[in-house]
Structure 1
């Protein structure tokens, strides 16, 4: 995820950056944050498909936030824009560019509102975390860090009582959540069962081969003959959507 912060006050940029970095939403905390000190600087770099969310100060120098937002809207009608302002008096002027929300400075006093805005602006992204149980406590794993899930790992056999999350970075994470429950939770995401009790993250696949998947981390996963056609179709559908 890529998030832009456009504000002519260095302190305000740093404060919002810190709030996002410490955010309880993992996808946001790990996002690429791009900081700009003026509307002109941002627009010179702006590419609609390269930004997921913009935080934009209303009061800036030569090109203020409203004018910057108008220029953004000419290229991206639906890109979420959140206005930053030191006074609610400036909020009304921004409605003409259909903002996703407003945050009053200082941001440190608006953290609940920030979380609410993030959840509303990025529903499909911030929800991409797998919640599993480990030793009686819940942990959340971003979908993007998962390579595959199975019921056997190098350190434990999960079987029906648990499963093992294999991360792209190479680590294995035995969890108490059953494989069946993990499959259910990931049923609406881009994961496919390519072998008995083996669920692959299609985003982690580098290539489809005659008998399996080559993953981006160098690992090889088998595809059963029974599931090959269905799995290949799921992968091609994923590529077309991406």
Structure 2
């Protein structure tokens, strides 16, 4: 399922956009959840980290689209942003916030369909993300930025490019979510990203980050076999 946020203070246009997205869902067979916000402040205050794509109007009261995009990027570096505007020059300013594209108002369904087709195709090729929730909030982590996961005080600790994140999921549940992306349970207390493994010596796995993860003796043979298969696919 794709989670799409639509932020525009023109109600008629927002309603039309929502209808277009629902039409696209019916025609394409893609599962899409649409969340509508009337201004940038409302979007920021109610931001859902599982958001995949945001249609963001540039000219809005209270908080314009560029300021909203800036605030979103402080929370989420992965969500796609497509600006909506009637003035092309404003849209060009939005690329500093890693915008996917911009759409000029008014808009016909075929233009939206083309943009969604392009974006979904890109998503299929792009590195996926997982959403982690704990007492501090909800976090989106790109799979290729997760180094390894270890058990930690009855919870899990994810070691990522951005730092450490606690997860309350079980190791088994997280293993099921991440195993399709090249993660391997090398030890009862460790789940490692095989894409970051640089060497294995005795019972120690060294990652490209310099971190060390342990492989248990009973699991080492199967781990080495899985690692060889993973590396083989990368060649």
TM-score after normalising by structure 1 = 0.49
2:63 matched to 1:58? no
SS of the equivalent of 2:59 reads coil
Q: Which residue of 2 aligns with 1:5?
A: 6
Alpha-carbon distance between aligned partners in 2 of 1:118 and 1:71, rounded to the nearest angstrom: 24
Alpha-carbon distance between aligned partners in 2 of 1:236 and 1:92, rounded to the nearest angstrom: 40
Structure 1 residue runs without a partner (length 5+): 128-234
Q: Which residue of 2 aligns with 1:116?
A: 114
CA shift for structure 1 position 124: 6.6
Distance 1:116 1:238, change over 3 A: farther
2:28 matched to 1:25? yes
Deviation track 1:92-133 (CA, whole Å, cap 9, x = no partner) reads 21111111111111222xx33322321232227679xxxxxx
2:107 matched to 1:104? no
TM-score after normalising by structure 2 = 0.50
Distance 1:12 1:238, change over 3 A: same
Assess if the C-alpha contact under 8 Å between 1:56 and 1:81 holds in 2. Answer: yes
Alpha-carbon distance between aligned partners in 2 of 1:107 and 1:22, rounded to the nearest angstrom: 14
Distance 1:239 1:112, change over 3 A: same
Deviation track 1:130-168 (CA, whole Å, cap 9, x = no partner) reads xxxxxxxxxxxxxxxxxxxxxxxxxxxxxxxxxxxxxxx
Assess if the C-alpha contact under 8 Å between 1:4 and 1:51 holds in 2. Answer: yes
Alpha-carbon distance between aligned partners in 1 of 2:36 and 2:20, rounded to the nearest angstrom: 14
Following TM superposition, where does structure 1 have runs of at least 4 consecutive aligned residues deviating by more than 6 angstroms?
Answer: 124-127
Q: Which residue of 1 aligns with 2:178?
A: 240
CA shift for structure 1 position 77: 1.5
Aligned residues: 130
Matches within 5 A, 1:22-171: 22-23=23-24, 24-27=27-30, 30-48=31-49, 50-108=50-108, 111-123=109-121
SS of the equivalent of 1:115 reads helix
Deviation track 1:167-207 (CA, whole Å, cap 9, x = no partner) reads xxxxxxxxxxxxxxxxxxxxxxxxxxxxxxxxxxxxxxxxx
Q: Which residue of 2 aligns with 1:158?
A: none
Structure 2 residue runs without a partner (length 5+): 126-172, 181-235
Return the structure number with greater strand share.
Answer: 2
RMSD of equivalent CA atoms: 2.4
